[in-house]
C-alpha cells in the first residue's frame, strides 16, 4: 500500500512538472516580439480584447502543430523543415509583406462594433434552441473576429525560427529528462504548450485593451501604419537573409 501511494504521488508530481514545463515553453515561444505579437496588438487596439485573442489563437494552433510534430517525433516534418527551409522562409516573407502592405493602407474599423454583434446574433439564430444557453459565455465574442485566425496561423507555421526553435527546445528537454515515455505524456505536453501560448495572448490582449479607449481614429491609423511597416520589415528581413546567404 505504501509503495502504491508513493508511486501515485510520483506520477502526479511527474505530470504536474510536465504541465508546468509545457506552460513555460508556451509562454517562451509566444513572448518574443514578432509578427503575431504585432498583429495581436494592432487588432486589440483597433477592435478590442477578443480581436486580439483571435489573432493569438491562430498562433496557439500553429504552436500546437509544431509542438505535436516535435513531441511525437514526426521526423518527416523536421526533415521537410530542414530540406525546404529556404522555400518556407520565402513564403513566410511574402506573407508578411502582403499582410504588412494591406495593414499599412487599411483604414481603422472603429465603427464596426455594431456590425460584429449583429453578425454574432445572426450566427446565434442558426443554433438550435437547446444549445442557445451556451451563447451566454463570452468566449463566443471571438467569432466575429475569426477571420484573423488563419492569418496568424500561417504566420506561425511559415516562420522558420519558430519551427526550429520549438524543435530545439524539445530536443533539449529530451536530453534533460530522458525524453517522453508515452503518447499520453506527449499529448499532455503539447496541450500544455498550447495553454501557455494562449495565456500569453490573453494577457497581452488584456493589457493592450486597457489603453484602447484613449485612442482616436487618427492614432489608430498611425498604429496601422506602424504595425504594417513592422510586418513589412520582418518580411524584408526574412527574404533579405536568403539573398545574403
Q: Where are the domains of the chain?
A: 17-112+150-244
* C-beta neighbour count of 160 within 10 angstroms: 19
Of the candidates 142, 139, 165, the one whose C-alpha atom is nearest the C-alpha of residue 26 is 165
pLDDT-based confidence at residue 206 (cuts at 50, 70, 90): very high
* pTM metric for this prediction: 0.77
pLDDT, tens digit (0-9, with 9 covering 90-100), for 21-52:
889 999 988 988 788 999 999 999 888 899 99
Of the candidates 191, 162, 163, 150, the one whose C-alpha atom is nearest the C-alpha of residue 54 is 150
Q: Grid coordinates 506602424 are at which residue? A: 226
Q: Give me the chain's average pLDDT, please.
A: 78
Whole-number Å distance between alpha carbons of 60 and 53? 10
Task: Provide the sign of the torsion angle of the four alpha carbons 146, 151, 153, 156, taken in this order.
Answer: negative
Residue 37, CA atoms < 13 Å, CB-side half-sphere: 15
pLDDT at position 169:
81
pLDDT at position 6:
39
Cα of first residue to Cα of last residue in the chain, in angstroms, is 63
pLDDT-based confidence at residue 54 (cuts at 50, 70, 90): very high
In this model, does residue 2 exceed pLDDT 60? no
Amino acid at each position: 500500500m505504501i509503495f502504491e501511494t508513493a508511486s501515485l504521488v510520483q506520477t502526479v508530481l511527474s505530470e504536474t512538472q510536465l504541465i508546468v514545463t509545457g506552460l513555460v515553453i508556451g509562454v517562451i515561444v509566444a513572448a518574443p516580439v514578432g509578427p503575431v505579437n504585432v498583429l495581436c496588438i494592432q487588432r486589440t487596439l483597433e477592435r478590442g480584447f477578443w480581436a486580439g485573442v483571435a489573432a493569438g489563437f491562430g498562433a496557439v494552433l500553429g504552436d500546437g502543430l509544431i509542438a505535436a510534430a516535435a513531441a511525437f517525433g514526426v521526423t518527416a516534418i523536421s526533415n521537410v523543415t530542414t530540406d525546404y527551409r529556404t522555400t518556407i522562409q520565402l513564403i513566410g516573407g511574402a506573407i508578411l509583406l502582403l499582410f504588412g502592405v494591406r495593414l499599412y493602407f487599411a483604414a481603422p474599423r472603429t465603427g464596426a462594433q455594431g456590425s460584429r454583434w449583429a453578425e454574432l446574433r445572426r450566427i446565434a439564430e442558426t443554433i438550435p434552441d437547446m444549445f442557445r444557453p451556451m451563447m451566454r459565455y463570452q468566449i463566443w465574442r471571438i467569432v466575429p473576429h475569426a477571420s484573423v485566425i488563419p492569418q496568424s496561423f500561417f504566420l506561425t507555421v511559415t516562420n522558420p525560427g519558430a519551427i526550429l526553435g520549438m524543435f530545439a527546445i524539445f530536443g533539449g528537454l529530451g536530453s534533460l529528462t530522458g525524453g517522453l515515455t508515452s503518447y499520453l505524456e506527449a499529448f499532455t505536453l503539447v496541450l500544455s504548450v498550447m495553454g501557455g501560448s494562449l495565456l500569453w495572448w490573453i494577457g497581452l490582449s488584456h493589457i493592450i485593451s486597457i489603453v484602447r479607449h484613449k485612442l482616436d481614429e487618427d492614432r489608430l491609423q498611425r498604429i496601422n501604419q506602424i504595425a504594417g511597416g513592422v510586418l513589412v520589415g520582418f518580411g524584408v528581413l526574412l527574404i533579405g537573409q536568403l539573398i545574403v546567404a
